């Protein structure tokens, strides 16, 4: 289950943020799918968590949007993580038209539990 944090500059339009909210869950799911956690195309609540945060007065960023994706470490994900994040960057640009953004993919050793 990926956790996705989207940090954005004050001038980023709400329509673009709404588009990111719609586009990111399936795009991120495809980017991190692996044999241990395959993506079947049927996202359920809790499968991808999105958190949006506007830049504060003391934050510094040279980009309009930074997308941080954290997903559980698996060897199959780790071995090609740069290709995964490059494809995700291309997919987000194609789906939203966003140009001035970056994506950080982190694969920590982690565990997850959730209510049914």
pLDDT single digits (tens) 72-107 = 999 999 999 999 999 999 999 999 999 999 999 999
At the topology level, CATH places domain 3-106 in Macrophage Migration Inhibitory Factor (3.30.429)
- With 0-12 / 13-18 / 19 or more C-beta atoms within 10 angstroms meaning exposed / middle / buried, residue 71 is buried
Mean predicted confidence (pLDDT) in 109-114? 80
What is the model's pTM? 0.92
Domain parsing of the chain, residue ranges:
3-106
List the structure tokens of 27.
């795009």
Position 9 pLDDT exceeds 90: yes
Three-state DSSP class for 4? strand
pLDDT at position 58 is: 95
DSSP string, 21-87: HHHHHHHHHHHH-BTTB---S---TTSSEEEEEE--TT---SSSEEEEEE----HHHHTTHHHHHHH
Q: Answer with the residue of higher pLDDT: 116 or 21.
A: 21
């Amino acid at each position: 289950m990926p956790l996705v944090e989207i940090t954005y500059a004050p001038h980023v339009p709400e329509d673009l943020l709404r588009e990111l909210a719609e586009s990111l869950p399936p795009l991120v799911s495809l980017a991190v799918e692996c044999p241990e956690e395959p993506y079947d195309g049927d996202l359920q609540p809790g499968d991808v968590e999105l958190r949006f945060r506007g830049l504060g007065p003391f934050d510094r960023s040279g980009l309009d949007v930074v997308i941080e994706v954290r997903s559980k470490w698996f060897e199959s994900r780790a071995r090609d993580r740069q290709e995964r994040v490059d494809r995700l960057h291309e997919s987000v640009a194609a789906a939203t038209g966003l140009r001035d953004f970056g994506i950080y993919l982190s694969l920590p050793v982690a565990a997850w539990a959730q209510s049914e």
